[in-house]
């Protein structure tokens, strides 16, 4: 069988865009180097695709302080989605949770709060005691919860990571990497409810008696910031996983081991600036030129409806003039029978150096013609007539 190949280009629009981008490309791009991002380890990731846009010692194993709570919160929200935890649940503070030092909300043994307030304290105030209280409520003990944290890290491909606790207090062997922090941050922000907490600048607990202020100072200074988590300990230094969104593109900037908070926020902002200045997300949709049907020979119908649902995206450099090019590969016809959802061909999309393919499948079943089926079809048609 021959193949019908369609090559779709954008014609004049592509030429016009190429000229514009050639002019724009003469403007120096914002670049990340050691003078701008001084953190010893950093990663910039585009969230929808997981594509790494910039990195520095991305897989170097380091302590990450309260960035640990990104995984804690991921398991919390997965417990909510799984019906194991409700925001209205009342959580009772254990002696172990109340004993936590560092950042906390001074929970006392036996004190109760809703899960909603415990999450708020964990996110906004980076409360170590609240994080442990949540962990114990979900898994029965912090140790059992930490086991689940490590198992989930392996499931996500976080091969640089070993958790020893759920809040990030310094502990020997409690290590991760900038790359792994980006991975778990990407997974957490799939739970859009997290942004209800990460966007809070100032709030109150205990009926207004306890004020909490967000540790993420970029909330006040960076356009498009949405989260996510800061952390500071003696071993880890100042760390951050910063998320931001502009023009439909969501970025995750991770910096580990900064000397101080000012450097942490400057490095996070520099990475985000680099991403927004140099990249955009191109949506890939089903091309309008995709045939609606394909000829079928020897079937109860002379054609079969086609389906190819594409809803994808790819990260492209703004300085590039590349436009999506689609190649549609289909045979001229098919022999019956054709099963529903049977793969019949493919759509290949190429943007710059990125190439992806998507299956074209049958949207229905077409049975092979036989005397009995043809006779039955004729009789049914006569009855209806």
Domains 3-17+286-384 and 31-279 share a fold: no
The single residue of 56, 94, 103, 126 carrying the catalytic annotation is 126
**Model pLDDT for residues 355-365, shown as the tens digit of each residue:** 999 999 999 99
End-to-end CA separation in angstroms for the chain: 39
Q: How far is CA 216 from CA 15, 124, 169, 206, in A?
A: 44, 8, 18, 22
Place of tokens 């724009």: 24
Top CATH class, 3-17+286-384: mainly beta
For 310, the 3-state DSSP assignment is: coil
Stated pTM of the model: 0.83
Kindly tell me if the per-residue pLDDT of 12 is higher than 50: no
The single residue of 69, 120, 164, 229 carrying the catalytic annotation is 69
Residue 17 — very low, low, confident or very high, per pLDDT cuts 50/70/90?
Answer: very low
Q: Where are the domains of the chain?
A: 3-17+286-384, 31-279
The reply to whether 69 belongs to the active site is yes
**Model pLDDT for residues 20-63, shown as the tens digit of each residue:** 333 333 333 445 567 679 999 999 999 999 999 999 999 999 99
Kindly tell me if the per-residue pLDDT of 216 is higher than 90: yes
**Model pLDDT for residues 318-355, shown as the tens digit of each residue:** 887 678 899 999 999 999 999 999 999 999 999 888 89
Task: Look up residue 366 and give its DSSP letter.
Answer: B
**Model pLDDT for residues 161-184, shown as the tens digit of each residue:** 999 999 999 999 999 999 999 999
DSSP class per residue in 318-347: TT-----EEEEEEESEEESPB-TT-EEEEE
The single residue of 56, 66, 139, 185 carrying the catalytic annotation is 66
Q: What is the pLDDT of residue 80?
A: 97
Provide the β-strand partners of residue 6.
328
The reply to whether 66 belongs to the active site is yes
The reply to whether 185 belongs to the active site is no
Q: What is the pLDDT of residue 354?
A: 86
| The domain over range 31-279 is classified in CATH as 3.90.1150.10 | no
């Amino acid at each position: 069988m021959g193949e019908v190949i369609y090559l779709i280009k954008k014609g004049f629009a592509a030429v016009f865009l190429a000229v514009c981008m050639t002019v724009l490309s003469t403007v120096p791009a914002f670049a990340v180097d050691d003078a701008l991002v001084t953190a010893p380890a950093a990663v910039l990731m585009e969230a929808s695709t997981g594509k790494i846009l910039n990195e520095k010692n991305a897989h170097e194993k380091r302590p990450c302080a309260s960035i640990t709570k990104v995984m804690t919160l991921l398991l919390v929200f997965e417990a909510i989605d799984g019906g194991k935890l409700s925001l209205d649940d009342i959580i009772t503070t254990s002696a172990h949770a109340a004993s936590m030092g560092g950042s906390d909300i001074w929970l006392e043994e036996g004190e109760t709060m809703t899960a909603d307030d415990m999450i708020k304290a964990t996110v906004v105030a980076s409360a170590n005691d609240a994080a442990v209280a949540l962990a114990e409520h979900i898994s029965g003990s912090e140790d059992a919860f930490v086991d689940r944290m490590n198992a989930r890290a392996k499931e996500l491909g976080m091969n640089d990571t070993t958790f020893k606790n759920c809040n990030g207090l310094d502990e020997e062997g409690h290590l991760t990497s900038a790359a792994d922090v980006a991975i778990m941050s990407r997974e957490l922000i799939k739970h859009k409810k997290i942004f209800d907490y990460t966007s809070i600048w100032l709030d109150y607990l205990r009926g207004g008696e306890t004020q909490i202020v967000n540790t993420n100072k970029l909330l006040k200074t960076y356009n498009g910031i949405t989260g996510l988590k800061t952390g500071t300990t003696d071993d880890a230094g100042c760390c951050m996983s910063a998320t931001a969104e502009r023009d439909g593109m969501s970025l995750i900037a991770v910096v580990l081991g900064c000397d101080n908070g000012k450097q942490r926020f400057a490095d996070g902002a520099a990475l985000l600036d680099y991403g927004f200045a140099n990249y955009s997300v191109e949506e890939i949709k089903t091309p309008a030129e995709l045939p609606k049907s394909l000829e079928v020979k020897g079937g109860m119908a002379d054609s079969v409806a086609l389906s190819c649902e594409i809803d994808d995206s790819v990260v492209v450099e703004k300085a590039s003039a590349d436009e999506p090019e689609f190649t549609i590969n289909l045979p001229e016809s098919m022999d019956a029978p054709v099963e529903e959802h049977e793969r019949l061909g493919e759509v290949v999309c190429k943007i710059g150096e990125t190439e992806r393919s998507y299956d074209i499948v049958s949207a229905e079943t077409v049975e092979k013609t036989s005397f009995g089926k043809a006779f039955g079809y004729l009789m049914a048609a006569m009855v209806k007539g």
